[in-house]
Amino acid sequence: MLQLPHQPLQVAAVPSPRVPAREDEAGPWHTEAVCRRDEAGLFFAPSKEPTAARLAREEAAKRVCARCPVMVECREHALLQPEPYGVWGGLTAAERRVVLARRRRREVELKKAASTGQQIAAAG
C-alpha cells in the first residue's frame, strides 16, 4: 500500500550507526552528512514495508544523498564495513552487494593478470 503524502511515514527501527573507520583532521566525515538533518526512517526500512513504499522511500533517500557533500565517503564506509541495511552513499543494501561482488571479481581478474604477466616475463 503506497502511503499518501499527507500521511505520516512509519518510523523504522534504526540500527545504531557504526563508528567510521577513519577520521581526518577536519573531523569525521559523517558530521557533514546531509542525512543528519533528515528523518532517519527515510534511510532504513520499517518492518514489513510494502514494495512500492520501499521503492518510493529509497528514491527519496537517494535524492538526499545526491546533494550530500560526503556521499562518496559515506558509500565507501558502507562498502568497507559492510553495512547490511539502509541507504548509504546513494546505494541500497542490494546495490552495495552488487558493487562488492564486482570489486571481488575485479580483484580476482587483476591477480590472474598479474600472475600471467609474471609467468610470461619469467619465460621471456
Which residues does the annotation place in the binding site for [4Fe-4S] cluster? Answer: 35, 65, 68, 74
Q: For residues 91 and 57, give the distance between their C-alpha atoms in angstroms, rounded to a whole number.
A: 12
Are 12 and 27 contacting, i.e. CB atoms less than 8 angstroms apart?
A: no
Q: Which residues are annotated as a binding site?
A: 35, 65, 68, 74
Q: For residues 41 and 38, give the distance between their C-alpha atoms in angstroms, rounded to a whole number.
A: 9
Rounded to the nearest 10 degrees, what angle do helices 71-80 and 51-66 cross at? 130
φ and ψ at residue 27, rounded to 5 degrees = 105, 175
Cell of 94: 542490494
Residue type for position 20: P
Tell how many helices (H) and how many strands (E) occur in the chain.
3, 0
